[in-house]
Amino acid sequence: MSGRARNLVVLLTIWAVLVFAPYWMPFVGGYTALGARVLVLALAAMSVNFLLGFTGVLSFGHAAYFGLGAYGAGFALKFLAPSTPLSLICGMLLGGLAGALLGSLIVRRRGVYFAMVTIAFGQVLYYVAFQWSSLTGGDDGLRGFSRQPLDFGFGSIDILSNETAFYFFVLVCFAIVVAVMGYVLQSPFGRTMIAIRENERRARFLGIAIERHIWIAFTLSCFFMGFAGALYALVNNFADPRGLHYSQSGDFVMMAVMGGMRSFWGPLLGAAVFVVLQDYLSSLTVNWMSFVGLLFILVVLFFPRGLLGFIRRQEPA
Amino acid sequence: MTQLLLFNVTNGLIIGVFYVLMALGLSLILNLSNVINFAHGGFLVIGGYIAYSVTPYVGFWGALLIAPPLTALIGFIVERILIRPLYGRDPLYGLLLTFGLAFIIEDGTRFIWGAQGKPVTVPAVLARPLSSELFFITGYRLFMVVTTIIVVALLFAILRYSRLGIRIRAGTLDLETVAAMGVNIRALRSLNFAAGVFLAGLSGVLAAGQLGLEPTMGTGLLMPSFVAIIVGGVGSLTGTLIGGLLIGVASGVTAVFLPAASEAVIYVLMALILLLRPRGLLGEEGMMT
């Protein structure tokens, strides 16, 4: 099979699995709400990987923009207007603009320094969400809002009580953002990002404005992240400060690495495995934290290229 | 008002002492191994709980002598088994691995010692306030500060004058050349890692006497230590020292005027410093002390 045909088969398989998820998941012990969660967290992991896997800079504080997105959606539904699309836009804007602003402080650093600064700035936003309890509800989280039926003028879709309809709504949102992400990566800008990842110095010699490119990539990824966070608020009808915490960032990075951060779809696989495993472990033992920690260590030591990277290496080239 | 301010500045300095000890250990490891040790807070907790467990047999002074070296030994073993395979790879992997390790340590301490906080009693000599007017300066706080000063002075002296210290500093600048000159850099990194963890263990013992013990206490002290390193400038231990004290005092002073912001102020400080001096106060890439 030629490369192009193979890509088409892979793509069709992925979408078929996702589209029919509400119908096959019950047979393997899953439930539709879990499917929606996997999609949203996968979107977040793919946004992290947009930066990590394709620009080569590690942000370990990306959950902050995810959590902000969730608050943005919550605020919009609670204080602005009962509209689901509006809440998604507000969430995306809140996460993305915060990222654009902080990103300008961050992008000049590299390597471990970059990672540390992103963690620290992520924690600022976490503390703000945690302390400003009159607005955010503090530790208890933001409650008192729920996703609204989609109104098209000629008819409406109830995504609040109909879990399957909501899953398809999330899937459509997922598809749109993933398409945008894929488009950016295919564009000359995306190619430049990869050039920076492969050899920053050479890219600089070629006259590429490295800082500006990294800043744009960082900001874009924060917009995607804010969107994912907004969707997450709709999944739970709830937003809380833990969504901004660096341990959440660690989970996202882990999903990306576990799936395979050199590939576009890797984080989706990673998120699915991670969410299902966590769901299963926490129902099985109170010491699930140890097992998750062990998973981190095992992946780093034995599968640094992730599941997809591992599978690819087994095949003859 | 003056007394309130003094009270909070002292509080800030005390907490700054923890930040300094933690951040110096982190800095040592970061500079030579290029690993951000997320499990550093976990090592602090281990140090504290070891002290808690041995205190009934050897007393507080014995625990102070025993716990940090034992923690360092654990760190040494961890470095051998888990960290060593990561050298030369993307810093991402060290970050993720120690992140997972921190999970395991936190869960492990909860499993062994229970989720409930544990009080650690300090000797009566140290528990008394120095005077009724300055009630907040207990002997224990003074003792913590003095201990930290001694340890930090020792650390700097070792780095400056001993052969080991010179090798560590040289390794920070150019590890390859140091290796080419016949220094066993594997052993050097192991020792250096253990030294960093020793500092975490020591701050664990000191923190246990001041704050009590909880499995999650390490996480709370870890983040400010990161900030201390960034403020001081990555690569500079002196910078880390200043950074730790600075953010401690800053959060102490803020606690007087705007208590809700006392946690957030250190990050504001960090943002300001990154704006004005992108490399931190004393940071010069690849330089140390």
Q: Are A67 and A129 in contact (CB under 8 A)?
A: yes
Please give the residue that has the higher pLDDT: either B261 or B60.
B60
Supply the pLDDT for residue B258: 78
Q: Which residue in A58, A112, A295 is closest to B34 by CB distance?
A: A112
Crossing angle, helix A32-52 and helix A210-236, to 10 degrees?
170
Q: Is A297 on the interface with B (CB under 8 A)?
A: yes
Say how many domains are in chain B.
1
Q: Using the 8-state DSSP alphabet, how is residue A230 labeled?
A: H
In the three-class reduction of DSSP (H, G, I as helix; E, B as strand; rest coil), residue B118 is classed as strand
pLDDT in tens, B181-237: 888 888 999 999 999 999 999 999 988 887 778 888 888 888 888 889 888 888 788
pLDDT at A63 over 50: yes
Quick check: A296 and B274 CB within 8 A?
no
What residues contact residue B84 under an 8 Å CB cut-off, 6+ apart?
B186, B189, B190
| CA dist., res. B237 & res. B228, Å (int) | 10
Instruction: Please indicate, yes or no, if residue B285 is contained in any of the structural domains.
Output: no
The dihedrals phi and psi of B138, each to the nearest 5 degrees, come to: -80, 165
Structure tokens at A208: 């590429």
The dihedrals phi and psi of B30, each to the nearest 5 degrees, come to: -60, -45
Residue in the block written with tokens 């654009």: A100
Q: Count Cα atoms within 13 angstroms, Cβ side, for A171.
A: 19
Residue in the block written with tokens 């309809």: A165
Q: Are B158 and B165 in contact (CB under 8 A)?
A: yes
| CA dist., res. B245 & res. B240, Å (int) | 9
Structure tokens at B159: 């780095």
Instruction: Look up the CATH number of the domain holding residue B104.
Output: 1.10.3470
Question: Which one, of B210, B79, B74, lies nearest residue B136 by Cα?
Answer: B210
| CA dist., res. A130 & res. B67, Å (int) | 34
Q: Is A116 on the interface with B (CB under 8 A)?
A: yes
Which of A183-192, B14-23, B154-163, B207-216 is least confident? B207-216
Instruction: Please indicate, yes or no, if residue B201 is contained in any of the structural domains.
Output: yes
pLDDT in tens, B90-129: 888 888 899 999 999 988 998 888 878 777 777 777 766 6
Instruction: Please indicate, yes or no, if residue B151 is contained in any of the structural domains.
Output: yes
Q: Are A58 and B95 in contact (CB under 8 A)?
A: yes
pLDDT at B30 over 50: yes
Q: How confident is the model at residue B284 (pLDDT cuts 50, 70, 90)?
A: low
For residue A36, CA distances in Å to A43, A317, B238 come to 11, 35, 50
pLDDT at A158 over 80: no
Instruction: Please indicate, yes or no, if residue B286 is contained in any of the structural domains.
Output: no
Residue A221, number of CB atoms within 10 A of its CB: 29
Q: B118 to chain A nearest CA, in Å? A: 20
Quick check: B230 and A111 CB within 8 A?
no
Q: Which residues pair with A157 in a beta bridge?
A: A150
Q: A302 to chain B nearest CA, in Å? A: 10
Q: Is B166 on the interface with A (CB under 8 A)?
A: no
Q: Is A111 on the interface with B (CB under 8 A)?
A: yes
Contacts 24+ apart (CB under 8 A), A159-165: A159/A84, A163/A22, A163/A32, A163/A33, A163/A36, A164/A22, A164/A32
Q: Are B212 and B54 in contact (CB under 8 A)?
A: no
Counting every residue written for chain A, the total comes to 317
* C-alpha B13 chain-centroid distance: 14
pLDDT at B77 over 90: yes
Angle at A42 between CA A186 and CA A230, to 5 degrees: 100
Instruction: Please indicate, yes or no, if residue B164 is contained in any of the structural domains.
Output: yes
Instruction: Please indicate, yes or no, if residue B288 is contained in any of the structural domains.
Output: no
Residue in the block written with tokens 């102070």: B64
pLDDT at A213 over 70: yes
**pTM, full prediction:** 0.87
User: Chain A residue closest to B112 (CA)?
Assistant: A287
Per the structure, the complete domain to which residue B208 belongs is given by 2-276
Set of chain B residues whose Cβ sits within 8 Å of the Cβ of A52: 92
For residues A118-124, give the mean pLDDT. Answer: 87
Q: Are B16 and B248 in contact (CB under 8 A)?
A: yes
Structure tokens at A80: 């602005």
Instruction: Please indicate, yes or no, if residue B289 is contained in any of the structural domains.
Output: no
Q: Are A88 and A72 in contact (CB under 8 A)?
A: no
Chain B from 88 to 117: CB within 8 A of any A CB: 89-93, 95-97, 99-104, 106-108, 111
Q: B282 to chain A nearest CA, in Å? A: 14
Structure tokens at A11: 């793509």
pLDDT at B288 over 70: no
Instruction: Please indicate, yes or no, if residue B48 is contained in any of the structural domains.
Output: yes
Quick check: B234 and A112 CB within 8 A?
yes
Q: Are B42 and B105 in contact (CB under 8 A)?
A: yes
pLDDT in tens, A218-232: 999 999 999 999 999
Q: Is B123 on the interface with A (CB under 8 A)?
A: no
Supply the pLDDT for residue A19: 80
